[in-house]
Chain A
């Protein structure tokens, strides 16, 4: 690739969804003037333009906004700050030397960056990933694809719908399909609790009398050309279908809302170490990955439930990248942070203990009146009590410098009552 057009640049931000937009804006405000934002689609804002429901922005703007409105606030800021953005530009490779290869309508480019912010977001899990048996008829969609078809393209997907998985997009689409005239016969969830926010259970299911079948799953998809029915079955406590209890629900459409996976193909190729739990990068408290000068934020780092938290995280990544580019990064010693009993993950996985910081975490099971403990070996350093915890809701805990300055290791776990 010697005749490739190449250019030096201080910072490349990959992805112009909510994370990439906020990261680029923050980097510029913190002093990086030579930066570019790369986006493979022909629009800015990532998934937000199709998320037409409201409830975004309560944390950042203290008002409920719809997805497109939330996105537009950052698109306007990006334009005010004159941050160059390349649309229709697909990053093909990021190397460990921080070269970014991009295919764009203008040709193939290589940007040699001082720093990179990974903000590629996530993808939906599909039928193949959970191996639902049965035939392969038309009418099986992921929830986000249906959201795109209905809200952006004016295409209706079916009349009689079953939704597998109770993630937020599934709940939101149950309501949206109902409003557009479809009958949603059931939302089927294999776990004994929903995977979406409680408020979405109220305003998307209960409001419209849509049945939520917990501890149930789809065991077969039936139909030759088009979905004709799905077979559902209750599951035991090991999540295995209970034989003889199957039931058929006639329907023409099955929506899958069965989780999101951070899209880290580029990160892997440039040597960023990933967590097997979050499927995102392992990061320090400044959101720097294991490759110096490469930062990660938003859903490519770990899947968020609220876009406001994506924005706040991305602003931090932008600031850290700016410090790196401007040579202001401090040399620090760090300690590891581990997830203990009852905790699915804690982020960041490595921290310096001489400043205040905030940890993001998720619990394994829902619970009420739960205390979470922070241990240095056997010694309990801090406890924090929560009225209610839920795996679908990210927990954020602020740690003060005074609480962690003397700590040698940090383990977070749910305390037994």
Chain B
């Protein structure tokens, strides 16, 4: 089967045409580097995305701290993760890189802070 997707690996945004059978890629065109190749293979076998969002902070100078997954998450788990994060609250101070959630749903993915939030004065 043929499929057209846009590579999300960099701002270039190559238009990829992939020919695949079930979860195996048979051929690819349009990519300008190996990032596109790896992305296309993932897209037909097990699509993944890095998720960024926020979680609430108690006693912080900001009400929220921004967070991200430390590695890409299976695409199908994105909304579960959002529901899960809606219930999470952390106490200030928070530092960039702090692990907010470890081993999310047993996937081996951690949720880490992407911002410093200091204690409210």
**Chain A interface (Cβ < 8 Å from any Cβ of B):** 49, 52-55, 58, 64, 66, 68-69, 72, 150-154, 179-181, 197-199, 201-203, 206-207, 305-306, 387-388, 393
Within 8 A of A (CB), among B5-63: 5-15, 32, 49-54, 56, 62-63
Cβ-defined partner of B11 (8 Å) among A54, A58, A207, A388: A58
Q: How far is the CA of A393 from the CA of B11 in the complex (A)?
A: 8
Q: What are 15 A-B contacts with C-beta separation under 8 Å?
A: A52-B52, A52-B53, A52-B54, A52-B115, A58-B11, A68-B66, A150-B54, A151-B54, A152-B63, A154-B56, A198-B13, A199-B6, A203-B49, A206-B6, A305-B11
Cβ-defined partner of A202 (8 Å) among B8, B10, B56, B78: B8
Q: How far is the CA of A152 from the CA of B64 in the complex (A)?
A: 6
Minimal beta-carbon separation of A200 from chain B (angstroms)? 8
Residues of B within 8 A of A152 (CB): 62-64
Minimal beta-carbon separation of A63 from chain B (angstroms)? 11
| Cross-chain contact A153 with B63 (CB below 8 angstroms) | yes
Residues of A within 8 A of B56 (CB): 154
Q: A54-B68, A154-B63, A198-B13 are in contact. Are A69 and B114 (CB under 8 A)?
A: yes
Residues of A within 8 A of B9 (CB): 199
| Cross-chain contact B82 with A179 (CB below 8 angstroms) | yes
A49: nearest residue on chain B (CB-CB)? B115
B75: nearest residue on chain A (CB-CB)? A207
| Cross-chain contact A58 with B10 (CB below 8 angstroms) | yes
Q: How far is the CA of A69 from the CA of B50 in the complex (A)?
A: 15
| Cross-chain contact A68 with B13 (CB below 8 angstroms) | no
| Cross-chain contact A202 with B63 (CB below 8 angstroms) | no
| Cross-chain contact A54 with B13 (CB below 8 angstroms) | no
| Cross-chain contact B52 with A199 (CB below 8 angstroms) | no
Residues of B within 8 A of A153 (CB): 63-64
Q: Knowing that A54-B52, A72-B96, A197-B13 are A-B contacts, what are 4 other residue pairs whose CB atoms are under 8 Å apart, sorted by A's residue number? A: A154-B64, A199-B7, A305-B11, A393-B13
Cβ-defined partner of B13 (8 Å) among A151, A154, A181, A199: A199
Residues of B within 8 A of A52 (CB): 52-54, 66, 68, 114-115
Residues of B within 8 A of A (CB-CB), count: 32
Q: A199-B13, A387-B32 are in contact. Are A68 and B115 (CB under 8 A)?
A: yes
Q: How far is the CA of A66 from the CA of B63 in the complex (A)?
A: 19
Pick the most buried of A69, A72, A150, A203: most chain B CB atoms within 10 A of its CB. Answer: A69
Q: How far is the CA of A329 from the CA of B66 in the complex (A)?
A: 43
Q: A54-B50, A68-B114, A207-B49 are in contact. Are A202 and B5 (CB under 8 A)?
A: yes
Minimal beta-carbon separation of A194 from chain B (angstroms)? 10
Minimal beta-carbon separation of B38 from chain A (angstroms)? 14
| Cross-chain contact A179 with B54 (CB below 8 angstroms) | no
Residues of B within 8 A of A53 (CB): 52
Minimal beta-carbon separation of A276 from chain B (angstroms)? 27
Residues of B within 8 A of A305 (CB): 11
Cβ-defined partner of A179 (8 Å) among B6, B15, B66, B78: B78
Residues of B within 8 A of A206 (CB): 5-6
Q: How far is the CA of A197 from the CA of B54 in the complex (A)?
A: 24
Which 3 A-B pairs rank lowest in CB-CB distance, beginning with the nearest? Answer: A198-B13, A202-B6, A52-B66
Q: A52-B66, A198-B13, A207-B49 are in contact. Are A154 and B114 (CB under 8 A)?
A: no
Q: A198-B6, A207-B75 are in contact. Are A306 and B52 (CB under 8 A)?
A: no
Residues of A within 8 A of B50 (CB): 54, 64
B78: nearest residue on chain A (CB-CB)? A179
| Cross-chain contact B49 with A154 (CB below 8 angstroms) | no
Minimal beta-carbon separation of A174 from chain B (angstroms)? 14
B16: nearest residue on chain A (CB-CB)? A202
Q: How far is the CA of A305 from the CA of B10 in the complex (A)?
A: 12
Q: How far is the CA of A203 from the CA of B50 in the complex (A)?
A: 10
Residues of B within 8 A of A151 (CB): 54, 64, 66
Q: How far is the CA of A153 from the CA of B66 in the complex (A)?
A: 11
B50: nearest residue on chain A (CB-CB)? A54
Residues of B within 8 A of A387 (CB): 32
Minimal beta-carbon separation of A279 from chain B (angstroms)? 22
Residues of A within 8 A of B12 (CB): 393
Minimal beta-carbon separation of B106 from chain A (angstroms)? 22
Q: How far is the CA of A154 from the CA of B57 in the complex (A)?
A: 10
B35: nearest residue on chain A (CB-CB)? A58
Minimal beta-carbon separation of B109 from chain A (angstroms)? 14
Minimal beta-carbon separation of A387 from chain B (angstroms)? 7
A155: nearest residue on chain B (CB-CB)? B63
Q: How far is the CA of A201 from the CA of B9 in the complex (A)?
A: 13
Residues of A within 8 A of B15 (CB): 198, 388
| Cross-chain contact B49 with A66 (CB below 8 angstroms) | no
B53: nearest residue on chain A (CB-CB)? A179
Minimal beta-carbon separation of B78 from chain A (angstroms)? 7
